[in-house]
């Protein structure tokens, strides 16, 4: 019998991540912005911002520019 992790262990952190993701995406647009500004203005951790940016990039919705600048496609 395989061990299963309780589902509740993942749930408490899920809502804040959704809120942080929304804040990061709301700060993005067609104009390139520095990643450091996204971290500062969103109030999310650097790790969370980078995770959101990676998700957007993998989905084909993010462009990376020189100098740590990013923008939505």
Q: Which domains does the chain have, with CATH numbers?
A: 11-72 (1.10.10.10)
- pLDDT, one tens digit per residue, over 18-41 is 899 999 999 999 999 999 999 999
Percentage of the residues of the chain whose pLDDT score is greater than 90? 74
Half-sphere exposure of 54 toward its Cβ, with a 13 Å CA cutoff?
Answer: 6
Burial classification of residue 38, based on how many CB atoms lie within 10 Å of its CB (0-12 exposed, 13-18 middle, 19 or more buried): buried
pLDDT given at position 3 = 61
Q: What is the pLDDT of residue 60?
A: 98
């Amino acid at each position: 019998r395989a061990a299963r992790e309780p589902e509740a262990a993942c749930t408490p952190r899920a809502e804040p991540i959704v809120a942080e993701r929304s804040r990061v995406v709301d700060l993005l647009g067609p104009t390139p912005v520095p990643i450091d500004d996204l971290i500062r203005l969103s109030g999310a951790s650097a790790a969370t911002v980078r995770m959101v940016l990676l998700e957007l990039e993998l989905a084909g919705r993010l462009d990376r520019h020189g100098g740590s600048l990013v923008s939505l496609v």
